[in-house]
Amino acid sequence: MPITSTSASRLPSPDDSQARLQQLVQRQRAFFASGKTLDPAFRKAQLRLLQQAIRRNEQALFDAMYADFRKPAFETFATEVGFVELELKLTLNKLEDWVKPKKVKETILNFPSRSYVHTTPYGLTLIIGPWNYPFNLLVAPLVGALAAGNCVLLKPSEIAPHTSAAITKLIRETFDEAYVAVVEGGVEVTQQLLAQRYDYIFFTGSSRVGQAVMKAAAEHLTPVTLELGGKSPAMVAEDADLELAARRIAWGKFLNAGQTCVAPDYVLVQEQVKDDLVQLLAKCIREFYGGDPRQSPDFARIINDRHFRRLEAYLQNGTIRAGGQTDSASRYIAPTLLDQVTWEDPVMQEEIFGPILPILTYRSLDEAMQVVNAHEKPLALYFFSSSENKKEAVLRCVQFGGGCINDTVSHLANPNLPFGGVGGSGMGSYHGKSSFDVFSHQKSVLHRGTWLDLPVRYPPYRDRLRTLRRLFRWL
């Protein structure tokens, strides 16, 4: 029986839920111990089943995300369904190469011998997804986990309930829950899940919850990947193509109504071109969404009332240069530009995660880099300039997870680029082969020949130290 199902007469008690989770974990451990997932042919067959299931359920996923936060079908395909399909295509094409043991250069100290790195699955993995890209950020890691040969427990976000239900239906119709299972529920269910022991945990979400996940993992010394967030800057130099910068910043910021972990959280623009950039950003908003973005079919809504109220309060900061309109009934917040903002304002104290873009200025590039480095390392950074020297300076001197030069967000579209944070924005990376790697243990194995066994390493050592020292220095 599915672990989240309930009878009409009685809801399960916390003890019942905990017992069912324990049974599910035991079933998955038994499935992994059977060795079925070790066969690359089995893994590819399961990935093809997932690929087919996604295509069958595409419209259901579109409908679910529209119901959760009026996400346009174009954005749902580009950033969710199509994105995962690209991950699947790459993985299916490359998996046989990825799983092969990799021979590495040998040292004469081990002569005669051969050394290899074998990739082996961890075992039972837990993947906890967020609400803002509720399909992509749960299922893209699943692709890597299955490719690596693991069994998987999935926890979709309850904050996007329609998408959670659609994912649950898709997974349960496709996989044996002893192999891949979905557990729905709120905070209490997540806590119950984290009380179990896993071989790997992959979490995407807020830094606050990420800390709780890491604490729970530490109880069992379980390795983790944390995909978090932070205040990702869009830095604009005076020599940038301002029209292009405005268009690409506005696109990256207001995609999914700003509810994107790598959206430009604020603009840091050289002061002499600030007013020009603000005017161009306002122009782009009109071009993208019309004079009243509330009527645009291409602009999403805020996920729930709590987030709406949080974002609406930020509109009291600074001076509104464009937008600022709200509607609580539909959870609408217009694409908004905030001028005259300081780092002491609430809007600059945490990741915004909404369609509000503060504009700050800097005088010199050194000052701008110091400002960014003075705060938590961002998940993404975007720098707009025509100067190769400035680009190199930013890449060399500023720490961030990943990013773009003269664009925003688009680095995620390349599955050959590892994606992940650093410091407060996360640890570990995935996408493409990096997803396979993150869910694989790198097992180092030495194959030693038996036809020669030099006695130099065996006691008694006598006067061999001088010879050994010379050998090491020669190597």
**For the segment 121-173, what is each residue's pLDDT rounded down to a tens digit?**
999 999 999 999 999 999 999 999 999 999 999 999 999 999 999 999 999 99
In Å, how far are 247, 354, 437 from 403, measured between CA atoms? 17, 19, 21
Please report, for the chain, the start and end positions of each structural domain, with discontinuous segments joined by +.
Answer: 14-228, 233-416
**In sequence order, which ranges of 176-237 are alpha helices (DSSP H)?**
187-194, 207-218
Say if residues 295 and 70 touch (Cβ distance below 8 Å): no
* Neighbouring-strand partners of residue 118: 443
| Cα–Cα distance measured from residue 113 to residue 237, given in angstroms and rounded to the nearest whole number | 55
Q: Identify the CA nearest to 138 among candidates 174, 179, 170, 173.
A: 170
| Cα–Cα distance measured from residue 360 to residue 345, given in angstroms and rounded to the nearest whole number | 12
Is 261 noted as a catalytic residue in this protein? Answer: yes
CATH architecture of the region 14-228: 3-Layer(aba) Sandwich (3.40)
Confidence grade of residue 457 (pLDDT, cut at 50, 70, 90): confident
Confidence grade of residue 9 (pLDDT, cut at 50, 70, 90): very low
pLDDT digits (tens, 9 = 90+) for 27-84: 999 999 999 999 999 999 999 999 999 999 999 999 999 999 999 999 999 999 999 9
SS3 category, 358: strand
pLDDT digits (tens, 9 = 90+) for 371-397: 999 999 999 999 999 999 999 999 999
CATH topology of domain 233-416: Aldehyde Dehydrogenase; Chain A, domain 2 (3.40.309)
- Active-site residue, from 261, 284, 351, 376: 261
- Active-site residue, from 227, 284, 376, 404: 227
